Amino acid sequence: MSVTQSKRTSIKLFLVGLSITIIYLLFNRKTMPSIMNTAPIILNTASTIHSQSKPKAFIITANCSSIRFNATKQNIERAFPNFFNISCFLTISLNDSRVDASSAVLFKKWTSNLLAFVDLWTYVIPKYSENDEYEWSFVFEDDVNFCDPSLVSLKNFIKPLKEFMERPQLKFQDGFFYLGICGPEYNNQSQIIISENTNNNLISRKGYGFCLHATGITAKRSKIFWGEISSYRPNANDKSLDYQLREYSIKSKKHFYTFGTNFHYPPGTGHFGVAFQDRGKFWSSIS
């Protein structure tokens, strides 16, 4: 082969290689944008995997068709529209084998109320929160009502409650809070929480007190809460659960936040927080 033929062959091979390269680059230029466009969708999907869906809310009542239950459900939905997945949870019968038959009626009612909370905390809530031990559930008694959110320039309490639920102190350490409390004593050493977008008028403080008409609890806390409380039982006599929780908080120095402690309604009743027992409409079922 002559030198001239050899050069011609080399040039042909170079041109063939260059053509292949150009075709490859053109093909990738066309397909690259479609690949990049799908990436944000994948990222967005991943970012919502751990977000909690509608929190579970249980209303403890003696009758799921009663006026008390339906009024309480409406009150919850008015203050938190389309926020909770609400279920009815029947109170424990006074004839239950776990209730001392020889006790006075008042003590039987206290025991029935206590057992309803213990069953919810220990067995029911963890079952609904198997995939996330820090998922919140809420427990309401069937006489609960809520303060007017417009007093803090809100249409409802959803946004500040969601922000409150996501605070690391509450979610990962406390695992429990009150939406309403009675006769509170506050821990002045703890941080005061002021909710955003409320003109600094929705304030939450840590402390202890009576009443359990409206509370939030994580699955992790609910599994062990009764064990913790009962280990600090004040004496051998049966007491209402809210009394036992108060004694536990005092003796263990484990205090919990109340959402909206600057709300005091109805006036003069000792109710603080966004939720209160509506004694003007319903009498107490455990006293």
Residue with tokens 């040039």: 11
**Average pLDDT of the residues in 164-188:** 96
Contact 195, 211 (CB under 8 A): no
Q: What is the pLDDT of residue 286?
A: 55
| Exposed/middle/buried for residue 247 (C-beta within 10 Å: 0-12, 13-18, 19+) | middle
Q: What is the pLDDT of residue 274?
A: 98
C-alpha torsion angle, residues 58, 64, 68, 71 (rounded to 10) = 70
Q: What is the pLDDT of residue 53?
A: 81
Instruction: Return the higher-pLDDT residue of 128 and 52.
Output: 128
Per-residue pLDDT tens digits for 84-107: 999 999 999 999 999 888 888 888
Q: What percent of the chain lies above the pLDDT cut of 90? A: 63
- What's the half-sphere exposure (Cβ side, CA atoms, 13 Å) at 135? 20
Per-residue pLDDT tens digits for 227-259: 999 998 755 566 889 999 999 999 999 999 999
Question: CA-to-CA distance for 218 and 131, rounded, in angstroms?
Answer: 12
Residue 161 has pLDDT above 80, yes or no: yes
Nearest in space to 81 (alpha carbons), one of 153, 191, 157, 176? 157
The letter for the amino acid at 166 is E
Contact 241, 113 (CB under 8 A): yes
Instruction: Return the higher-pLDDT residue of 280 and 64.
Output: 64
Considering the chain, what is the average pLDDT of its residues? Answer: 83
Cβ atoms within 10 Å, residue 156? 17
Per-residue pLDDT tens digits for 199-212: 888 999 999 999 99
Q: What is the pLDDT of residue 159?
A: 95
Per-residue pLDDT tens digits for 18-73: 454 444 444 444 333 322 232 222 222 223 334 568 999 999 999 999 999 999 99
Question: CA-to-CA distance for 122 and 110, rounded, in angstroms?
Answer: 18
Question: CA-to-CA distance for 216 and 241, rounded, in angstroms?
Answer: 15
Contact 214, 72 (CB under 8 A): no
- What's the half-sphere exposure (Cβ side, CA atoms, 13 Å) at 243? 13
Residue 282 has pLDDT above 90, yes or no: no
β-pairing verdict for 56-61 and 136-141: parallel
Residue 110 has pLDDT above 90, yes or no: no
Q: What is the pLDDT of residue 101?
A: 86
Q: What is the pLDDT of residue 45?
A: 24
Question: CA-to-CA distance for 141 and 126, rounded, in angstroms?
Answer: 19
Q: What is the pLDDT of residue 201?
A: 86
Say how far residue 148 (Cα) sits from the centre of its chain: 21
**Average pLDDT of the residues in 209-224:** 97
Instruction: Return the higher-pLDDT residue of 119 and 2.
Output: 119
Nearest in space to 257 (alpha carbons), one of 174, 162, 158, 137? 174
